Amino acid sequence: MLKKSDRVLPAVIITGCLVGVTAATYWVLTQQNRLTQMPVGANIVPQEALLTISVSTDENQWQQLRQFGTVQTQAELEKNFRQWRDRLLTAYSYNYQQDIQPWIGKEATIAFLPPEINTNTTTNPAPTNQNQALLMVLPIADQAAAQQVWESKSQTQNKWISRNYKGTQIQETPGTGNTNYSAAVLDQRFIVVSDNPQATEKAIDTYENGLSLAKVPGYITAISKITQPNRFAQVYLNVPIAARVAQANPAQTAIPQSLTRLKENQGLASTITIEPEGLRFRSISWLNPNSQRLHRVENSAGQMQQRLPSETFMMLSGGNLQQLWQDYVTSSQSNPLAPFPPENLRAGFKSLTGLDLDRDLLSWMNSEFSLAIVPASTQAQQDFMLSLVLMIETRDRAAANKSFQQLEQVLQRRYQFKTQETQLGNNTFTNWIAPFGTLTATRGWLDNNVAFVTLGAPIVERLLPQPTKNLASTTQFQNTVPKLNPNNGQFFLDINPTVKALPLPQLIPGQNILLEATRSIGGTAAVSDERSIRYDIFVSLEKEKSQSQSSENRENILTTSH
């Protein structure tokens, strides 16, 4: 007869095995689910791809996109996509509607490979093209239709040359200039097309046994956090590669140069979905495995928008201004391309005020802050149209008051400003008055721990007491600014006629055209963990009133070819 212990042992073993099998099954299913969330071609695109864009082929989604914008933005959109289409399809004598649409899957991927891809090949070891190679991955949903198109094109194109690369047939034809276009079928599941034969070979190697996009450190985990089943597009930027390309060509514009500040990041990714009122971007950045820097997990923002009046049309908030400055200082130390070197900012502040930026100001700015623009009241004639409002929460009110007093002494002594204390209810605030009598700034306290400074139009009476109809309560703010709770900061911009009339600096090409097509922009950031940060953005877009009538006559950007 078995002892009790002898009967228990098999049960324990069986239970342990069941738990192990269950855990293993759950892990396999989870990994498979994550892999199905990856963009098409994630196992084909080489790991060193600079930029990867996966776009829906669903015509209904493209039709939704065409509802937004103005005539100018629609023309710009069509021009850009024609350039992509012509670079690979039209130059290759393909018509999307006739030759691609009958068999393609629900998503296509376009990848830009860095110039050095030309040297990683046995076919042509010398660089032949210093431009980035373009690689397109087209999934096959209907093999019979794809085979029919492939065979018909092979028979009618006399310039095509067939060659074998490690068991895979590559079809090539000369393109414009020195560019050779090539295509190959992988496992009867994908067609890869490129304007560089070395890129096609690299894709074949990657699919067979190479380091693909899916094997980028942290890529699968990051993408799984932002993916959406109804996505219109998904974008991935390989930050280390982008930084290297930017540093190799310092003559580039400021936008790629600024990428060098992010070289400790492994990647930036964003999933784009089309919604009835605009575009939503669910984004994430994550650090590379070798980074010694870790994010400080602190999500303490979210109160400042309740202190601002409802008519505020721009607000930027954050959880800790002192920490933000320290992070910038750290990232700028090894970056000669930093637009505002910290030492220059410190020296400039010292020269203007005689104060130490870190010790006298930022030392007490260690909590939530916001920078906002509020329009002047329309009830009276004002010298200024707008007011710039800075709010800072602090744990050391005495240190803050000391800094303000030192600053006021400098304004009086060096610049002949006058200071004037004013009472509003139970609150006392100080006006800084310029030599010619124009009120230029006001500072005070909203409560025991939130200091404020306004510059421009006087708006204190709209801040004190705290407005009941505040920015956070407005429908536009709630519909525009994404909700991530808790969060480490938010951004809101109402693109109203006042904003469009401002003499804004030209930051990107076609900026004015984009502003005309936009209603508002909202963004929210949150530190997910020590190695990743979420950035969600929503862009509310105008809708062209005549769009439904003109769309019938507008050339389809995907279905036409020259």
pLDDT in tens, 437-460: 777 899 999 988 999 999 999 899
Q: What is the mean pLDDT of residues 100-121?
A: 82
- Which range scores top for mean pLDDT: 143-152, 329-338, 397-406? 397-406
Q: Which has the higher per-residue pLDDT, 307 or 162?
A: 307
Where on the phi/psi map is residue 278: left (φ > 0), alpha (ψ -120 to 50), or beta? left
What Cα–Cα distance (Å) separates residue 342 from each residue in 179, 265, 327? 45, 21, 11
Task: pLDDT band for 12, please (50, 70, 90 cuts).
Answer: very low
**What's the pLDDT at 276?**
94
**What's the pLDDT at 223?**
94
Answer whether 109's CB lies under 8 Å from 40's CB. yes
**What's the pLDDT at 483?**
93
Is pLDDT at 335 greater than 70 in this prediction? no
Q: What is the mean pLDDT of residues 176-185?
A: 75
Is pLDDT at 546 greater than 80 in this prediction? no
Q: Which has the higher per-residue pLDDT, 52 or 23?
A: 52
Q: Which has the higher per-residue pLDDT, 214 or 161?
A: 214
Q: What is the mean pLDDT of residues 474-502?
A: 91
SS3 letters for 496-519? Answer: CHHHHHCCCCCCCCCHHHHHHCEE
Task: pLDDT band for 108, please (50, 70, 90 cuts).
Answer: very high
Task: pLDDT band for 158, please (50, 70, 90 cuts).
Answer: low
Q: What is the mean pLDDT of residues 35-41?
A: 76
Answer whether 266's CB lies under 8 Å from 243's CB. no
Q: What angle do CA 133, 135, 138 make, to 5 degrees?
A: 170
Instruction: Name the least confident of 130-134, 198-202, 478-482.
Output: 130-134
**What's the pLDDT at 288?**
86
Q: Would you state the structure tokens that stand for residue 24, as one six-digit string?
A: 């293993």
Q: Which stretches within 137-265 are classed as H helix? A: 143-156, 197-209, 219-226, 239-248, 254-257
The one-letter code for the residue type at 172 is E
- Residue in the structure block whose two tokens are 């505040």: 470
- Among candidate residues 293, 285, 283, 269, the one with its CA nearest the CA of residue 523: 283
Report the percent of the chain where pLDDT is more than 70: 78
**What's the pLDDT at 180?**
76
Backbone angles phi, psi at 167, to 5 degrees: 90, -5
CA gap 18, 379 in Å, rounded: 75
As a whole number, the mean pLDDT across the chain is 81
Task: pLDDT band for 55, please (50, 70, 90 cuts).
Answer: very high
Answer whether 137's CB lies under 8 Å from 78's CB. no
pLDDT per position as a tens digit, 295-306: 888 898 989 999
**What's the pLDDT at 130?**
55
Q: Would you state the structure tokens that stand for residue 541, as one six-digit string?
A: 């877009």
**What's the pLDDT at 436?**
82
**169-177 CB contacts, 8 Å cutoff, 24+ apart:** 170/197, 170/200, 170/201, 170/204, 172/197, 173/92, 175/91, 175/92, 176/91
Q: What is the mean pLDDT of residues 30-37?
A: 48
pLDDT per position as a tens digit, 232-276: 999 999 988 887 777 666 555 444 444 545 667 899 999 999 999
- Among candidate residues 52, 409, 167, 259, the one with its CA nearest the CA of residue 419: 409
Answer whether 242's CB lies under 8 Å from 269's CB. no
Q: What letter does residue 212 receive in the DSSP assignment?
A: B
Report the first-to-last Cα separation within the chain, whole angstroms. 88
Answer whether 56's CB lies under 8 Å from 107's CB. yes
Instruction: Name the least confident of 42-46, 227-231, 503-507.
Output: 503-507
CA gap 155, 249 in Å, rounded: 43
Task: pLDDT band for 513, please (50, 70, 90 cuts).
Answer: confident
Q: Would you state the structure tokens that stand for residue 270, as one six-digit string?
A: 């964003």
**503-509 CB contacts, 8 Å cutoff, 24+ apart:** 508/255
Is pLDDT at 228 greater than 80 in this prediction? yes
Instruction: Name the least confident of 57-66, 275-284, 358-367, 434-443.
Output: 434-443
Answer whether 411's CB lies under 8 Å from 432's CB. yes
Q: What is the mean pLDDT of residues 324-351?
A: 80
CA gap 308, 332 in Å, rounded: 32
Instruction: Name the least confident of 21-30, 329-338, 397-406.
Output: 21-30
Write out the E strands in 117-177.
133-139, 161-165, 168-174
Q: Would you state the structure tokens that stand for residue 12, as one six-digit string?
A: 């324990």
Q: Which residues of 498-522 are buried (b: 16+ CB within 10 A; e: fewer)?
A: ebeeeeeeeeeeeeebbeebbbbbb
Q: What is the mean pLDDT of residues 329-343?
A: 70
